[in-house]
Structure 1
Amino acid sequence: MNLDAEGSCLPETRGAVYRPDAVRDNAGMLDARKITALAAALIVAQTIVRAWLVIRGDFYGDDLLLIAQASSHDGLGWSFFGQSHDGHLMPGAYLVVVVSTYIAPLQWWLPAATLVVGQVLASLAVWRAIRIIAPNARGGALAALAFYLFVPMTVTSFVWWAAGLNTLPFQAALAWVVGSTVVLVRDEPTGPRRTRLVVGAVAAFVVGLLFFEKSLVILPVALVVALLAVRHDRRVGSLLTAVFSRAKELWAAMGVVFVAWAVLFFTTSTTDDGERSASQMAELVWRSVNNAIVPSFAGGPWVWELWPPAPPMGLAPVWMIVVGWLVIAALVVTTVRARRGAAIVWVFAAVYAVGVQIPVMWLRSSENTALELAQTLRYLPDTALVFALAFALIAAAPVPGGSHAAKAEPDRRLSIAGAAGCGLLVLSAMVGTSSFSQSWSEGPTGDYLTNARQAMKDNAGRVMFDQAVPIEVLHPVTYPNNQISRIFGRLHDRPDFGGYTDRLVVLAPDGRAVPGAVTRSRTIAPSRGTCRNPGIAGPQRLRLDGPLFNIQWTIQLSYCANIGGDVEVGLEGGQPLRITVEPGLHAVYLQVSGQGDRLRIRPVTPGLRLHTGEGRVGLPVIADLAP
Structure 2
Amino acid sequence: MTVQDERPAGFQITLPSLGTGPVVGAGLLLVAISLAFRASVLGRAYFVEDDFLFVAAAGDSGLTWDYLTRVHKGHFMPGALTLVWVLSAVAPYSWALVSFVTIALQAAASVMFLVLLRRLFGDRPWVLAPLAVYVFAPLTVPAMSWWSAALNAVPLQLALAGALAAHVRYARTGQGRWHALIWTAAGMAFSTKGVFIPFVILGVSSAFLGRGLWARSILAELRRPGWWAQGALLAGYAVLYLLRRDSAGSDALTGPKAELVPGVVRRLLGETFPTGAVGGPLRWGGVTATGGLADPEAVTVVASWALIALLVALTCVYRRRAWRAWAILAAYVVVADAVPTVIARATLWDMVGAETRYVADAAVLFALCLALAALPVAGEEDAVRRRTPGGLPAAAGALTAAFVVAALVSTNAYADTLTGDRVRTYLDAARQSLAEAPDLDVYDRPVPPHLVLPWNGSRRLTSNVLGPLTDPETRQRMRDPRPSARPYVFDDAGKLVPVGRVVPFFDEVAGAECYPAGAVFPVESMGGPGMVVALAYTSEVPVRVVADLGGTERAASLPATPADGGLFYVPHDGAGAGLRVTVAGAGAQDFCLRAVAFGEPGPAL
Q: TM-score by structure 1 length? A: 0.82
CA shift for structure 1 position 383: 0.7
Q: Mind listing any 5+ residue stretches in structure 1 that lack a counterpart?
A: 1-27, 531-539
* Structure 2 equivalent of residue 158 of structure 1: 144
Residue type matched to 1:380 in 2?
V
* Structure 1 equivalent of residue 506 of structure 2: 522
Looking at structure 2, the residues matched to 445 and 600 of structure 1 have their Cα atoms a distance apart, in angstroms, of 43
CA shift for structure 1 position 457: 3.2
Looking at structure 2, the residues matched to 31 and 456 of structure 1 have their Cα atoms a distance apart, in angstroms, of 51
Q: In the alignment, which of 29, 36, 39 is matched to residue 41 of structure 1?
A: 29
Residue aligned with 1:434, SS: helix
| Residue deviations 1:121-159 (CA, integer Å, cap 9, x gap) | 1112212211112115421x1111111111211111111
Aligned residues with identical type, % of pairs:
24
* Structure 1 equivalent of residue 7 of structure 2: none
Q: Does 1:377 align with 2:347?
A: no
Counterparts of residues 185-584 of structure 1 (less than 5 Å): 185=171, 187-189=172-174, 194=175, 197-232=176-211, 238-245=216-223, 247-248=224-225, 250-270=226-246, 272=252, 274=254, 276-278=256-258, 280-309=260-289, 311-364=291-344, 369-397=348-376, 403=382, 411-441=389-419, 444-492=422-470, 496-497=477-478, 498-515=481-498, 516-523=500-507, 542-544=517-519, 546-552=521-527, 553-558=531-536, 567=544, 569-582=546-559
* Structure 1 equivalent of residue 117 of structure 2: 130
CA shift for structure 1 position 225: 0.7
The runs of at least 4 aligned residues of structure 1 exceeding 6 Å deviation read: 28-32, 560-564, 606-610
Looking at structure 2, the residues matched to 286 and 520 of structure 1 have their Cα atoms a distance apart, in angstroms, of 46
CA shift for structure 1 position 183: 2.2
Counterparts of residues 65-214 of structure 1 (less than 5 Å): 65-73=53-61, 75-139=62-126, 141-185=127-171, 187-189=172-174, 194=175, 197-214=176-193
CA shift for structure 1 position 60: 1.3
CA separation of 1:313 and 1:216: change in aligned 2, threshold 3 A: same
Contact 1:521 1:617 survives alignment (8 Å): yes
CA shift for structure 1 position 31: 12
CA separation of 1:29 and 1:402: change in aligned 2, threshold 3 A: same
Contact 1:281 1:358 survives alignment (8 Å): no
CA shift for structure 1 position 476: 2.2
Looking at structure 2, the residues matched to 170 and 469 of structure 1 have their Cα atoms a distance apart, in angstroms, of 31
Looking at structure 2, the residues matched to 128 and 274 of structure 1 have their Cα atoms a distance apart, in angstroms, of 41
Query: Which range is displaced more, 427-436 or 445-454?
Result: 445-454
Residue type matched to 2:111 in 1?
L
Q: Does 1:598 align with 2:589?
A: no
CA separation of 1:238 and 1:360: change in aligned 2, threshold 3 A: closer
Q: TM-score by structure 2 length? A: 0.85
Name the count of aligned residue pairs: 570
Contact 2:434 2:470 survives alignment (8 Å): no
Contact 1:303 1:435 survives alignment (8 Å): yes
Looking at structure 2, the residues matched to 166 and 365 of structure 1 have their Cα atoms a distance apart, in angstroms, of 16
CA separation of 1:601 and 1:46: change in aligned 2, threshold 3 A: farther
Residue aligned with 2:570, SS: strand
CA shift for structure 1 position 480: 2.2
Q: Mind listing any 5+ residue stretches in structure 2 that lack a counterpart?
A: 1-15
| Residue deviations 1:245-286 (CA, integer Å, cap 9, x gap) | 3x31x2122211111001111232256564634453233122
CA shift for structure 1 position 67: 1.6
Residue aligned with 1:576, SS: strand
Query: Which range is displaced more, 269-278 or 352-361?
Result: 269-278
| Residue deviations 1:171-214 (CA, integer Å, cap 9, x gap) | 111111111112222x242xxxx2xx233222221111111121
Contact 1:302 1:432 survives alignment (8 Å): yes
